[in-house]
Structure 1
Amino acid sequence: MLLAVFLLSLGVGKAVDVYSTSAQRAREDELVHVGSLYREAIKDYYLSAPNGQHRYPLQLEDLLKDSRHLVTRRYLRRLYQDPMTAKMFTPLLSPQGGIWGVASTSSRAPIRAMTPAGVILKQPPAQHYSDWQFVYDGT
């Protein structure tokens, strides 16, 4: 009986570990997707400047409603939360002024061995999700 309880607890422990890894992998995929949405929204905001005066948004809310044009443009439907922390992303400031990207605040280690496409590393190799930066650099 004791052996059966021991084997059952090992099985449950392994199942919990597999579920935890699967859930983290799903949140990691969501982080890449949402980060890419922010990067594309910042790119669209930057490139759609009237009179060719390119500039980055001063705050993330500018991506929701851009009133620089005759017709209001919306680059995001809403401000998305960081899937890893369930908090708002950290805005990354451009040297020219404004926000040119976002980053996670999570200190967890990524599962992926390779850096996802479109992600700039703060310092390679990425030790934490906070090292992943979703930036549009104006090029």
Structure 2
Amino acid sequence: MRQARRRRGAQRGYTYLALMILISIIGITAAASAELGAIYQRRMAEKELLKVGETFQRALQSYASATPLGQPTQPRTLDELLRDPRYPNVVRHLRRIYDDPMTGKADWVLVKAPDGQTIVGIHSASQGRPIQIKQFPPAFQGFDNRKSYTDWVFIARYPALTQGQRPGDNTLNNGDSAGNTSGSNLPSNGPQPSGSPSGSPFGSSPGSPSGSQPGSPFGTSFGSPFGSSFGGNSPGGSAPNGSLFNSSPSNGSSPGNGPSNSSPSGQFP
């Protein structure tokens, strides 16, 4: 009897020990899984932070590119990105104020201009240490080896403007064209270079003798395809500056009504 009791007691002891080991293994596995899950969630939050931050950055660039003359190029609040107060109609640069993925709230820290009145960028309020420290996209090259999420500052990149240019006249420094930018390669009304490229469909330029250059589809008898019906005084009946778009009636005469300065060969039948 005593030996049987001892055996049963020994078996109970082994069972208890095995149960404790199993519980420990389950606990360690659960803790490791929770830690891996937390790391995965933080990685996803970091990616979302980069995406949302770039969205704000593009919105600030769009706001600057759409600046009317005499108006500020940066907003005073983030709400101005939702509805641009510089226009009477509704102009939006951002759909909504997104939450900070690291804090779960829209508690963004605003980066102000030197005057302290307008916003030029934002960053997260989280003091956490980033998991990703290298291999950022080209738009975030300055984020390498940062110690905190507060160092991930999303600032609108404004082009270097020359005198007389507006913020929307150039492509942004990062290659993005935010907003409705107005092109700077518009036709100029100033003096054009003399001479025209070989094979120009508009005949010769003022820098060449009367007639046409080789390759002109109008030959030498017509001069310019429009003659001098615009009142131009260029030799050979060609339009001023060799361009029909920069020509305008001179001395107040309208096309076809004023006296012509060209020879009969320069008129259309």
Do they fold alike, i.e. is TM over 0.5? yes
Judging changes above 3 Å, is the alpha-carbon distance between structure 1 residues 115 and 131 closer, same or farther for their aligned structure 2 residues? Answer: farther
Structure with greater helix percent? 1
1:58 deviates by: 1.1
1:66 deviates by: 0.5
1:113 deviates by: 2.0
Aligned partner of 1:134 in structure 2 is 154
2:66 pairs with one of 38, 48, 66: 48
**Percent identity over paired residues:** 28
> Of the two, which has the highest radius of gyration?
2
2:140 pairs with one of 103, 114, 119: 119
Distance in 1, matches of 2:148 and 2:135, equals 12
SS at the partner of 1:80? Answer: coil
Over residues 86-127 of structure 1, what are the superposed CA-to-partner deviations in whole Å (9 max), with x where a residue is unaligned? 2321110122551011000101000102163333758x7311
Is 2:54 the partner of 1:32? Answer: no
Higher RCO (CA 8 Å, separation ≥ 6 residues): 1
**Range moving further from structure 2, 94-103 or 8-17:** 94-103
Judging changes above 3 Å, is the alpha-carbon distance between structure 1 residues 115 and 105 closer, same or farther for their aligned structure 2 residues? Answer: farther
Is 2:63 the partner of 1:63? Answer: no
C-alpha contact (below 8 Å) 2:71/2:86 kept by paired residues? no
C-alpha contact (below 8 Å) 1:105/1:129 kept by paired residues? yes
Structure with greater strand percent? 1
Aligned partner of 2:177 in structure 1 is none
Judging changes above 3 Å, is the alpha-carbon distance between structure 1 residues 56 and 120 closer, same or farther for their aligned structure 2 residues? Answer: farther
SS at the partner of 1:91? Answer: strand
Which one-letter code corresponds to 1:91 in the other structure?
Answer: L
Distance in 2, matches of 1:107 and 1:121, equals 18
> Unaligned regions of 5+ residues in structure 1, if any?
none
Over residues 19-63 of structure 1, what are the superposed CA-to-partner deviations in whole Å (9 max), with x where a residue is unaligned? 000010111111101100100000000111012756111111110
**Range moving further from structure 2, 60-69 or 38-47:** 60-69
Distance in 1, matches of 2:74 and 2:141, equals 18
Aligned partner of 2:25 in structure 1 is 7
SS at the partner of 2:153? Answer: strand
Distance in 1, matches of 2:157 and 2:113, equals 8
Aligned partner of 2:110 in structure 1 is 91
**Range moving further from structure 2, 97-106 or 66-75:** 66-75
Distance in 2, matches of 1:104 and 1:121, equals 15
> TM-score w.r.t. structure 1 length?
0.89
1:69 deviates by: 2.5
Judging changes above 3 Å, is the alpha-carbon distance between structure 1 residues 120 and 58 closer, same or farther for their aligned structure 2 residues? Answer: farther
- Cα root mean square deviation, aligned: 2.0
> TM-score w.r.t. structure 2 length?
0.48
SS at the partner of 2:120? Answer: strand
